[in-house]
Amino acid sequence: MKEILEVIPLFFLDVFAFGLLWACFRLGRRFKDKLKWLYVLCIISGSSLLINQYCLYVKSESILALLPLHLCYMAVWLIPIGLASRNTVLLDLIFYLCVPASLLALLLPSNEFIAEPYSLLTLSFFLFHFLNVAIPILASYWGVYDPAPSIKKAIRVSVTGLILTGVIHVVNLFIGAATGLRVNYFFTIIEYSAPTNPAYQFLGSLIPFDYVYLWPGLLVLYVNMGVVYAVRSYRRYRKRTSDVAS
């Protein structure tokens, strides 16, 4: 019961976040150039990340623990780069890897955010994670980016994600060995991740190997692609039936 009561404030933040997504959509309709509105949201996201980093800096024992090497932190800067370059490979990585990761962070936040639900640290965390989800979804809805799923795309994003996570795991081990700091970018080390979040605790109990225990997370990517495929199929069906009716 205590655990349930503790997460209730964060539940309301999640509800507020999805209401904010609707508001972003409504406000964006007033912009003829939808890309400009997405850039405005990117600026807000970047600002909230900087605030979040400052809050962490005040608490942190070393700047090495604050490097922007978490996937969701990377997404804040990768999203505007992807929008500006229209790089499909980068946008696919953002849509199918960063969006689910940020959504899970909103739904299953770490204990430090549960303990301080209305602190500046938590509110800034929720804002930029929310925008990591909202901006790519709005970009796809408005036709700025086409997330058309395919087996080739699934393989490419999966391999890229595994390689990127592996590289970050090596960085974690190197910093830990060189400085003794408990850094855990991408949450690749079970010992540090499990106490902070039940999702990592569950995965770690299934696969007791650092880095490898995250591999089942790719299932979220495939589910995401399945949802996109289902939505696109439904919209095509609706279009065909409306054309026949007219």
For residue 214, what are its two tokens? Answer: 């995250």
pLDDT at residue number 109: 79
pTM: 0.86
Give the residue-averaged pLDDT of 126-145.
Answer: 91
Range of the domain at 18: 2-245
The model's pLDDT over 42-55, given as tens digits with 9 standing for 90+, comes to: 999 999 999 999 88
The dihedral region occupied by 109, where left means phi > 0, alpha psi between -120 and 50, and beta the remainder, is: beta
Q: Can you tell me the distance from the alpha carbon of 68 to that of 86, in angstroms, rounded to the nearest whole number?
A: 23
User: Does residue 8 carry a pLDDT above 50?
Assistant: no
Q: Can you tell me the distance from the alpha carbon of 41 to that of 136, in angstroms, rounded to the nearest whole number?
A: 11
Which of 11-15, 82-86, 90-94, 143-147 shows the lowest per-residue confidence on average (mean pLDDT)? 11-15
Total residues belonging to the chain: 246
> Tokens 């399945």 label which residue?
226
| Listed residue (211, 192, 38, 25) closest to 111, CA to CA | 192
Give the residue-averaged pLDDT of 119-146.
Answer: 90
Q: Can you tell me the distance from the alpha carbon of 211 to that of 37, in angstroms, rounded to the nearest whole number?
A: 37
Q: Would you say 104 and 220 are in contact if contact means Cβ atoms under 8 Å apart?
A: yes
One-letter identity of residue 219: L
pLDDT at residue number 167: 97
> Tokens 């999702």 label which residue?
199
Average pLDDT, the chain: 86
Domain count within the chain: 1
Give the residue-averaged pLDDT of 49-65.
Answer: 86
